[in-house]
């Protein structure tokens, strides 16, 4: 795991060494072990290395081919690199290191860009083909590793993180109003732009290239999720046994490392299953949990602390277990640094991720995460059932769009934004942005409940999980920690997409027979299980029954209660400040009204309040230029 960056002046202007050095320095937290630069007049590449495989200088980057014609900078892990190395050796290639970087480099020499489709792993890389004077940027099929880019005049700039791009003197920091509108609708971005005007996220499973001769940026995608080719003849037994086999294979594949490997551990099935397999391979495995101080918490959030369940799993598998306890005041200390590292605002409360990653980084350099299990195996049934009775495509999209307006509804946006900003974005249709996600797969159908659920899986894995990957990468790499996701293994994903919906969601036939005119349908739907049926049965040989049957609990702090109590003073101090930076874009009266309604218990606005806090710190840090290390976070 590393940080990469580069500058390509298409007009032939030489790149000053100081420019690429400044970009790489801004990525030092991603790669504290080594630094390297390559400059060839108008092209410059920078690399910061976090040494995971082959810790020797042989893994130094940028890495060049033996004839010096191909230069590679690479961030990620290729889990099948040893198999590919055998293929390449059979073709006559020789290796001077044990790195997957060299396998990728020689793979390009042997197969060209076709090498990408052979890779099983997470990666983002840039490759300079000197003979053709062409720069290629590539991102893994799932989009686990980030890569951002911008083009200013005749200068093309890219990096693993936006903050590195911002160091270039030609780049100015401006807010992207369309992205802000999208963020305050979905608490996510469904297009590949960012809050930074002109700076984009490279699409997952895509290649972008630009040549000195042509100067135009080109793109092609080489893979996409597809839940439409389900094998309806597959039995439950086959689905369960093959899921277990491929899951074991995926976890063991992702244990390759020359440094210590640990695992996050909640009280749930996904991380517990990873620990179950990993503990058979790593004696005295280190595991890490984040819990919460619930002394002032009431209601449903009183069950948000999973430390007891995590300890139970740890004891069962004899792991060396560490815990981080977060309290209501911790958000104020962490938030400036969280936003500095996250930059690309996504999803809900993520400061617990920041704390547990920091904890893990004190003991290991690689940590396994359970992300992806819910999206592959239908772990959010209360979402799917909202569109279960949809009639046709338009009805489905409208119903699902209503649910995914997580923060501010379309009718409230004139009150949210300042008059100037609303005048700019009012014609930017976020429903069209939402609907566009479904157009990437022309095979989607909308004629049955099963198809609606399959479409929902497709949407959520391309959007919600993609947001989780941004959060996971940025907040783990903030501490020089590599986060791996065993559920996102090529073979496991390919098989999981083929499993019939009826095996993933229990009692699907009974739900099909519901009278859609009856009241309280959603409550009835929830009584039919929590999804991931086939995964739960597959893991029955790995985990204790009480873990398998435990009600699903998301990884979230009890912020609803804290924002009404212990954290309320902080909330008001930041958001009701008359000099707050967000006031240039958001209406402070709307913000104050949301705080009042939340405190009064009229609604639970914890997600929106979190996003207000995040955006305020984003404005301070990136628009006002206040670095976290110079802030009083309180």
Q: Which of 2, 290, 614, 619 is catalytic?
A: 2
DSSP state of 417: B
Rounded to whole angstroms, how far apart are CA atoms 594 and 586?
13
Q: Please check whether residue 227 is in contact with residue 457, taking contact to mean a CB–CB distance below 8 angstroms.
A: yes
Rounded to whole angstroms, how far apart are CA atoms 169 and 191?
26
Rounded to whole angstroms, how far apart are CA atoms 217 and 150?
11
Who's near 389: CB < 8 A, 6+ residues apart?
449, 516, 521
Who's near 274: CB < 8 A, 6+ residues apart?
251, 263, 368, 369, 370, 486
Rounded to whole angstroms, how far apart are CA atoms 628 and 618?
11
Concerning whether 350 is annotated as a catalytic residue, the answer is: no
DSSP string, 242-305: HHHHHHHHHHHHTT--SS-EEEE--SSHHHHHHHHHHTTTSTT-EEEEEEE--TT--GGGGG--
The CA-CA-CA angle for residues 183, 187, 190, to 5°, reads 65
Who's near 321: CB < 8 A, 6+ residues apart?
265, 286, 287, 288, 289, 310, 311, 314
Q: Please check whether residue 51 is in contact with residue 100, taking contact to mean a CB–CB distance below 8 angstroms.
A: no
Structure token digits, residue 604: 């639970």
Sheet bearing 218-221, strands edge to edge? 63-64, 70-78, 121-129, 134-139, 206-211, 218-221
Who's near 308: CB < 8 A, 6+ residues apart?
267
Contacts by residues 301-307 (CB-CB < 8 Å, ≥ 24 positions apart):
301/558, 301/560, 301/561, 302/558, 303/553, 304/553, 304/556, 304/557, 304/558, 306/266, 306/267, 306/268, 306/553, 306/555, 307/267
Structure token digits, residue 469: 């990957």
DSSP state of 407: S
User: Would you call 368 helix, strand, or coil by DSSP?
Assistant: strand
Active-site positions read: 2
């Amino acid at each position: 795991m590393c940080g990469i960056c580069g500058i390509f002046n298409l007009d032939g202007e030489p790149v000053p060494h100081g420019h690429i050095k400044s970009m790489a320095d801004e990525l030092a937290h991603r790669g504290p072990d080594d630094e390297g630069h390559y400059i060839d007049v108008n092209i410059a590449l920078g690399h910061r290395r976090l040494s995971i495989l082959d810790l020797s200088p042989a893994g130094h980057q940028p890495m060049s081919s033996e004839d010096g014609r191909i230069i590679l900078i690479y961030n990620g892990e290729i889990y099948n690199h040893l198999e590919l190395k055998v293929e390449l050796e059979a073709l006559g290639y020789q290796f001077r290191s044990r790195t997957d970087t060299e396998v990728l480099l020689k793979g390009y020499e042997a197969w060209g860009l076709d090498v990408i489709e052979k890779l099983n792993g997470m990666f983002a890389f840039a490759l300079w083909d000197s003979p053709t004077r062409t720069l290629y940027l590539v991102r893994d099929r799932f989009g686990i590793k980030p890569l951002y880019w911008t083009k200013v005049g005749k200068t093309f700039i890219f990096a693993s993180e936006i903050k590195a791009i911002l160091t270039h003197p030609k780049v100015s920091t401006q807010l992207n109003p369309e992205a802000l509108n999208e963020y305050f609708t979905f608490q996510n971005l469904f297009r590949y732009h960012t809050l930074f005007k002109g700076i984009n996220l490279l699409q997952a499973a895509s290649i972008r290239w630009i040549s000195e001769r042509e100067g135009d940026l080109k793109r092609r995608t080489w893979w996409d999720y597809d839940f439409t080719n389900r094998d309806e003849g597959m039995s439950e037994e086959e689905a369960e046994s093959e899921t277990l086999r491929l899951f074991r294979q995926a976890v063991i594949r992702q244990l390759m490392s020359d440094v210590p490997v640990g695992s996050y551990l909640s009280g749930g099935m996904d991380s517990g299953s990873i620990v179950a397999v990993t503990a058979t391979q790593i004696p005295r495995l280190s595991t890490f949990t984040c819990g919460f101080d619930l002394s002032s918490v009431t209601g449903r959030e009183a069950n948000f602390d999973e430390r007891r369940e995590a300890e139970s799993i740890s004891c069962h598998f004899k792991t060396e277990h560490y815990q981080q306890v977060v309290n209501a005041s911790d958000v104020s200390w962490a938030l400036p640094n969280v936003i500095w590292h996250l930059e690309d605002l996504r999803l809900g409360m993520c400061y617990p991720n920041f704390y547990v990653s920091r904890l893990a980084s004190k003991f290991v350099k690689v940590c396994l995460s359970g992300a992806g299990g819910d999206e592959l195996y239908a772990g959010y049934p209360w979402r799917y059932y909202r569109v279960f009775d949809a009639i046709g495509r338009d009805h489905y999209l409208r119903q699902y769009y209503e649910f995914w307006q997580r923060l501010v509804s379309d009718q409230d946006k004139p009150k949210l934004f300042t008059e100037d900003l609303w005048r700019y974005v009012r014609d930017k249709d976020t429903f069209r942005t939402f609907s566009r996600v479904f157009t990437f797969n022309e095979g989607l159908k909308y004629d049955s409940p099963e198809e609606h659920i399959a479409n929902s899986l497709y949407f959520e894995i391309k959007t919600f999980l993609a947001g989780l990957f941004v959060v996971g990468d940025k907040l783990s790499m903030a501490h020089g920690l590599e986060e791996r996701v065993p559920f996102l293994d090529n073979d496991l994903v390919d098989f999981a997409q083929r499993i019939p919906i009826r095996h993933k969601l229990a009692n699907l036939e009974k739900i099909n027979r519901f009278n859609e005119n009856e009241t309280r349908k959603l409550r009835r739907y929830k009584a039919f299980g929590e999804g991931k049926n086939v995964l739960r049965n597959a893991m029955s040989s790995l985990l204790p029954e009480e873990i398998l049957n435990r009600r699903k609990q998301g990884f979230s702090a009890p912020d609803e209660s804290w924002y009404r109590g212990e954290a309320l003073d902080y909330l008001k101090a930041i958001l009701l400040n008359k000099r707050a930076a967000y006031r240039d874009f958001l209406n402070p009266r709307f913000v104050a009204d949301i705080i009042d309604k939340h405190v009064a218990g009229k609604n639970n606005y914890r997600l929106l309040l979190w996003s207000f806090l995040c955006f305020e710190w984003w404005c301070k840090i990136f628009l006002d230029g206040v670095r976290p290390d110079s802030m009083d976070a309180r």
